[in-house]
Structure 1
């Protein structure tokens, strides 16, 4: 999500027109960009609200904002008392910023773990990581992955943040849904095992379920078909440039989280996705000489092979060439189109 999209969502929240997924997406954007100077002012232009004439403020906005703050008893705003209205406008506008930034439930209708309580676990490329959360949930992290999680879970939900790829075995607790926020998806489960692959800047994201049932919602506002329910053996894919939204399909059980054993299955998969897997699993660094080769697609299965063996096989299957130069692997060749 970019700033313009976030501004659009902020406007919908204030107008009481945002759905739960849009509110969650806005909250995630605010948390991910908490250090961006002037973010609150850009999303909620206080000067506009404070300097606008009385009639310019949307009807009922003061009451809608003040009601959550007063427990449902918003004060009446006399039409002939501009000073009081101005003070209320300033207070209301400031309250909006405070409520959104702190993730207040009543305005955004979502419980969030305070940013200051989150621990961070990072697995570098070429390695894997394991962690057991406070509720007993076990997570296996692929290389190049960042996980943010609380030391203990409080409130009505169990929420964590993922950037990269991980396999989850979630402890069952029907009264406290487990929610994973990732760049492309928000995934909600009660107790199940599944794999999520979603990294910032990554072109293709996916969620695949091994056991149980999960709810997956695309976090990009306006995405068509943005919610899907998955059962064992099902997978959803998302590409940011695909206006159709997320696509649902099937997947072999033995390929869900297969990266843990360095097994990879590709079916007409573009080279850029394969290289990303090689970076995460083997710690390789690539320099692409001809970007056109990244669109080349491959169908192959690699079972516990070395990185060199995989690259050699890809080269034999196409016009793509790989050459190791110092710490970089140079990718060159001709387009496959």
Structure 2
């Protein structure tokens, strides 16, 4: 199998990985050891990359890390030259430039880490600073995270995320609906918490619908792969592209189905699509979309199902179409809409 050079680089530049390699065989942090053991179990496809990254780090054997930067660079180049000699070493000449580049990257990015290890200083975990974005009814927005992930946040939704991801994962907390285009990072899975459900990914595009008061949490996968689990449970389900997982809070059960992309995800592109929707579902979505409240007086749609696709249409236009088809009249008064049975 061809090795993934991006993963090798990710490992080399990960400070937790550097610390783990540096302290192997010593009384190191048990949590760190457990994390990398679990990482290897969860990513068997990256064993070759991990082995190569470990070997690259072992080339760095600084005796005097407190020496000036230029002197340290000379030591590294000497180590590279030694490592590439044909004396049964693990490195071959064909890897020479990649080794050099990786080690110089470590000089620039990881030098301070090795300095701290040699001085036996205490590494203090950076405190998370959380940011919260909230959209009122009738407003949608786009959020870009520091790792490059893009989030489209629907109306009436709230999301919390760290100002900077500093732990072993990228965790955000969602209340409402959002579409995620997750930047790839094989070392830090992206986790979305939503109404008792966790959706875990490495890099993919998916939609999560988890508005307060709903019995269901819906996760629709557009591309890539995600793992969804109930937070209180150890079991999980893997979701493949073009499928949707529905979690029922009252039963604690999951069910899987296909989905209509425009109906489920079209909102992020300004499209409202209703497909066999109930009257209550129509009112809920229109309320969030246009920032209005509905009062229903004497109108009972029964089992009528609503269908339609709208982009850039006014609330009045949509209600006129639905009202003609299902026999209701309406009146818009500011942010309040009153619906009555049609006299026709």
Distance across 1 between alignment mates of 2:129 and 2:205: 26
Question: Pick from 169, 176, 181: which aligns with 1:169?
Answer: 181
* Partner in structure 2 of residue 329 of structure 1: 337
Partners of 1:206 and 1:331 in 2: how far apart? 29
Please, which of 128, 149, 170 is the counterpart of residue 137 of structure 1?
A: 149
More displaced stretch, 153-162 vs 323-332: 323-332
1:27 aligned residue:
none
- Say whether residues 1:191 and 2:203 are aligned partners: yes
1:316 to partner: Cα distance? 2.2
Deviation at 1:150, TM superposition (A): 0.6
Residue 301 (structure 1) aligns with: 309
Provide the residue aligned with 1:267 in structure 2: 275
Q: What secondary structure does 1:317 align onto?
A: helix
Partner of 1:228: 237
Q: Distance in 2 between matches of 1:326 and 1:135?
A: 41
Residues 244 and 141 (structure 1), Cα distance of their counterparts in 2 relative to 1, 3 Å cut: closer
Residues 233 and 135 of structure 1: is their aligned pair in 2 closer, same or farther, counting only changes over 3 Å?
same
Q: Which structure is richer in relative contact order (CA contacts within 8 A, separation 6 or more)?
A: 1
Report the TM-score, using the length of structure 1 for normalisation. 0.57
Residue by residue over 1:235-258, the C-alpha shift from the partner in whole angstroms, topping out at 9 and shown as x without a partner, is 1234445x3723211124444521
SS at match of 2:326: coil
> Between Structure 1 and Structure 2, how many residues are aligned?
218
1:127 maps to: 139
**Structure 2 unaligned blocks of 5 or more:** 1-29, 31-125
Q: State the structure with more CA Rg.
A: 2
Q: 1:315 to 1:143 in 2, by over 3 A?
A: same
1:245 aligned onto 2:253: yes
C-alpha contact (below 8 Å) 1:204/1:240 kept by paired residues? yes
| Runs of 5+ unmatched residues, structure 1 | 1-67, 69-112
The equivalent of 2:169 in structure 1 is 157
1:257 counterpart SS class? helix
CA RMSD, Structure 1 to Structure 2 (Å): 3.0
Give the whole-Å Cα distance in 2 for the aligned partners of 1:229 and 1:275: 33
Residue range with higher mean Cα deviation, 208-217 or 258-267: 258-267
Partners of 2:301 and 2:326 within 8 A in 1: no
